[in-house]
Amino acid sequence: MFFSFNHASVAVYCDFNSVENAILTRIGHDFESAFDITDFAREGRFARDINYDYSATISKTALLVDGEDACRQRIDFSCENGAIVDPGISCWLGIRDGSKSKAWAGTSEDNMCPCGALGSCFDSSQSCNCDGVQTTIHEDNGWVTDRSKLPIKQMRAGGVPFGTTATVKVGKLECFKEDSGSSPPESCYEIKQNGDSIAGDYLIDPDGSDGEEPFVVYCDPSFNSTHAQMIIHHDSEDRTHVVDKASAGDYQKMVTYDGVTIEQFDALFSNNISDVYIACVQTIQYECYASTLLKNDMSWFVDRLGAPRTNFGVANESVSSCPCGIDGSCSSASELCNCDFDAISWAEDSGDINDFSATFLPVTQLRFGDTAGGVGNEEGYHTLGPLVCSAGPSKYE
């Protein structure tokens, strides 16, 4: 479909069905596939212009972005053997006005990746997982949602000397426009109050037009007679192998939520609505073979505030335990998790992380260890469910 802005036309893909209250517009480009970078040691030495489909110029695409309610582009950056991000200095995003963004994708804080903004990077003294001393693969991914920066015009990278590797890719530009012409609703509960009953993806704006950009979540307004349900998915829901990681927390998996930044989560849960209660839950599971979980402080997850937590699937957020440690059903009566028995056989610990006041979820990072023996000797698998929240006039637990 062609859109015209001040006599400037641009061809785009339009989706009138995926989002219940908004039209999705998408523009692809020539830098969507993963691209390996090596032997670019100097700051910003690697430069790649992004050419949008159908010869859509940056200026024309910027006009489209300005007319939308929300836009987003995902950035994926992984590193190995010493490649660094060092956002705004070694690597940066060239934004639509030709300047460089000092903030990386996933946060608005300058010279930071999401883990740096949370204080939870693999090397806690650094601002990104890919910075500091690292010999294995790490990642710094996230979404750019600030429309004043979109579309991304150029990728610049450095800090990748010979013998190191970085892999980068930039996602399609996606934009959303509320199809009634009014402002997006504040929450899934407001959608329920407005009389809508259809479950599906919705564009919401928790803190209004003067706050963070709106974003898309799944809403079920008819969850029950009093509450609406909200679900936000992420990129780490698949069962994922953990192996060849010896020390505590040696394995790290950042959890990137679909189109939502750290600041947007803050807006979602900081909005002061005195007569609405929000409660959230995430399921978590760890399958282990001769690999411990909480014993010797081997594993933990990180919450949205950057705090490490070990309430591994239990309701009480202050308790370090798996569910079997609470009810006394673990494989060994002396342990708090089935996996902590360290048996040479497969075991499992799983449960719900409950956040009845929406103060710390979602999970933003997973950390595991004790799998140095390799496949068939010491290994594990983790699975993390989407963030599921209910909102209504009273607590729903």
Could you tell me the CATH number of the domain that includes residue 91?
A: 2.60.120
Domain final residue, candidates 175, 195, 228: 175
122 and 11 assigned to the same domain: yes
Domains identified in the chain, total number? 2
The CA–CA distances, whole Å, from 263 to 212, 369, 370, 397 equal 7, 30, 34, 26
The verdict on 257 and 362 lying in the same domain is yes
Q: 341-389 pLDDT, tens per residue?
A: 999 999 999 999 999 989 999 999 999 999 999 999 999 999 999 999 9
Chosen domain end from 124, 150, 175: 175
Is 151 part of a structural domain of the chain?
yes
Strand partners, 174: 26, 72
Cβ neighbours of residue 170 closer than 8 Å, sequence gap 6 or more: 29, 31, 32, 50, 73, 74, 75, 76, 152, 155
255, 141 Cβ separation under 8 angstroms: no
Residues 331 and 256 in one domain: yes
Query: Does the bond joining 362 to the residue before it have cis omega, within 30 degrees of 0?
Result: yes
For residue 206, is the peptide bond before it cis, meaning its omega torsion is within 30 degrees of 0? Answer: no
In a domain, 298, yes or no: yes
Q: Report which DSSP code applies to 295.
A: G
Distance (Å, whole) CA 346 – CA 331: 11
**Does residue 22 sit in the same domain as residue 131?**
yes
Q: Are residues 6 and 116 in the same domain?
A: yes
376 with 282, same domain: the answer is yes
CB 246 within 8 A of CB 393: no
The answer on 334 and 255 residing in a single domain is yes
Per-residue pLDDT tens digits for 76-130: 999 987 778 888 888 999 999 999 998 999 999 999 999 999 999 998 899 999 9
d(CA 93, CA 44): 10
- Parent domain of 268: 240-392
Q: What are the beta bridge partners of residue 5?
A: 8
127 and 13 belong to one structural domain: yes
Query: pLDDT digit of tens for each residue in the chain (397 aa)?
Result: 555 555 567 788 999 999 999 999 999 999 999 999 999 989 999 999 999 998 889 999 999 999 999 999 999 999 987 778 888 888 999 999 999 998 999 999 999 999 999 999 998 899 999 987 667 789 999 999 999 999 999 999 988 888 888 999 999 999 999 998 889 999 999 999 999 999 999 999 998 888 899 999 999 999 999 999 999 999 999 999 999 999 999 999 999 999 999 999 999 998 655 567 899 999 999 999 999 999 999 999 999 999 999 999 987 788 899 999 999 999 999 999 999 999 999 999 999 999 998 999 999 999 999 999 999 999 999 999 999 999 988 765 5
Structure tokens at 37: 């970078």
pLDDT of 137: 86
> Are both 117 and 266 inside the same structural domain?
no
Asked whether residue 200 is assigned to any structural domain, the reply reads no
Longest alpha-carbon distance in the chain: 74
